[in-house]
Amino acid sequence: MTLRIPDISNWQRGIDINKVLKGSDGLIVKATEGTNFIDTTCEPWVKAIRKSKKPYGFYHFFRGAGVAEAKFFYQQTKGYFGEGVPILDVEVYCSKEEVEKFVKWIHAKTGVWCWVYTSASFINTYMNDFVKKHCGLWCAGYPSTPTKWTKQKFPYSAYTKGCKLVGWQFTDCLTLANKAIDASIFYITVEEWAKYAAGDNKKSEEPAKKQETTPKKDSSADKKATDVGNKSVIYLAVATLQGQYGVGEERKKKLGSRYDEVQKFINHISRCSVNTLAKEVIQGKYGNGNTREILLGDKYDAVQKKVNEMLS
């Protein structure tokens, strides 16, 4: 059995996601890039995929900083682990060692081995024996560029020795939902996809499906400062604006060494122009959905309007 799976990112913003899902067996979406870019199209598309009950993957575009990027990727996507397959997209020059560090860190944190996406000619440039042994390979290569789903035989076997080939991205111009998009054939079943997503069943530190960037109201008045040490600044800023850390000296005490960082983040938002904030939203600095609305406060509508203008 094979699965017909397209992959999309912010470059396909506005595409009819329901038509994409109707014309395929699942979907792969971009989540993050480097150490500071969050793809704001990811979350709404994942919601649509969940509703369709089809398999999905979520990927990180790698810039070469192994552990730092792994931490950023996990921080933004922890709610997807256990459901979708995490994927490391390796297209720009980096070392094999940094790729290995990335996948090792994610596995240690979640129990899941990422798939690695790269082109056929660069498999041995970016994947060492360790990565080949543990990570599924999603191979890109276009001997032709069909606009429809292909039945061609995978042509790059000579490049994939020692790898666990899971899929082949065979075109970047499949016509779906009236758009030309990337598309792949995966050589696994839905059940096998789910097994890759489940990993070895090691649970991450946060419950599945709960994004750190949308904290619930904390009813405890005695939350210790030590609880904030490993939280992202976005999480802490949202919690602060919700009143979880109080004001004045109480806030200083509860945030401890993170106080200056969080206060600077909140002050930046309050002092910046709508134009600057809109640019930073596009860069992924303020997350999405409810998180973004809380952070931007009474500037939210104006900023969102400017974002839409910039992206139109």
pLDDT band at residue 212 under the 50/70/90 scheme:
very low
In the predicted structure, residue 151 carries a pLDDT above the cut 90: no
Residue among 97, 90, 180 nearest 140 (CA): 90
Separation between Cα atoms, residue 55 and residue 301, nearest integer Å: 34
The two three-digit tokens of residue 78, written as one number:
């922890």
The two three-digit tokens of residue 77, written as one number:
């996507």
Residue 81 DSSP class: B
Contact partners, residue 75, CB within 8 Å, separation at least 6: 212, 232
Q: Helix axis angle, 233-241 relative to 248-255, nearest 10°?
A: 150
**Chain segment 246-270, per-residue pLDDT in tens:** 888 888 889 899 999 999 999 999 8
Res 221: pLDDT: 34
In the predicted structure, residue 159 carries a pLDDT above the cut 90: yes
Separation between Cα atoms, residue 203 and residue 26, nearest integer Å: 24
**Chain segment 65-78, per-residue pLDDT in tens:** 999 999 999 999 99
pLDDT band at residue 201 under the 50/70/90 scheme:
low
In the predicted structure, residue 106 carries a pLDDT above the cut 80: yes
Res 100: pLDDT: 96
Contact partners, residue 103, CB within 8 Å, separation at least 6: 70, 88, 113, 114, 116, 131, 134, 135
Residue 111 DSSP class: S
**Chain segment 269-312, per-residue pLDDT in tens:** 989 999 999 888 877 788 766 778 888 888 888 888 887 777 65
Domain segments of the chain as ranges: 3-198, 225-311
Res 200: pLDDT: 80
CB atoms under 10 Å from CB of 166, counted, come to 24
Res 311: pLDDT: 66
| CB-CB contact of 116 with 87 (8 Å) | yes
CB burial class (10 A; 0-12, 13-18, 19+) of residue 68?
A: middle
Architecture of the structural domain at 3-198: Alpha-Beta Barrel (3.20)
Q: What SS3 state is found at 175? A: strand
Separation between Cα atoms, residue 285 and residue 98, nearest integer Å: 24
Residue among 181, 152, 186 nearest 57 (CA): 186
Separation between Cα atoms, residue 64 and residue 73, nearest integer Å: 13
Buried b (16+ CB within 10 A) or exposed e, 194-211: eebbebeeeebeeeeeeb
In the predicted structure, residue 218 carries a pLDDT above the cut 60: no
Residue among 231, 291, 230 nearest 43 (CA): 291
Separation between Cα atoms, residue 157 and residue 137, nearest integer Å: 12
Separation between Cα atoms, residue 137 and residue 153, nearest integer Å: 17
Separation between Cα atoms, residue 135 and residue 199, nearest integer Å: 11
**Chain segment 169-191, per-residue pLDDT in tens:** 999 999 999 999 999 999 999 99
Alpha helices, DSSP H, located in the chain: 17-22, 42-52, 66-77, 96-110, 123-126, 129-134, 190-198, 233-241, 248-255, 259-271, 274-282, 289-296, 300-311
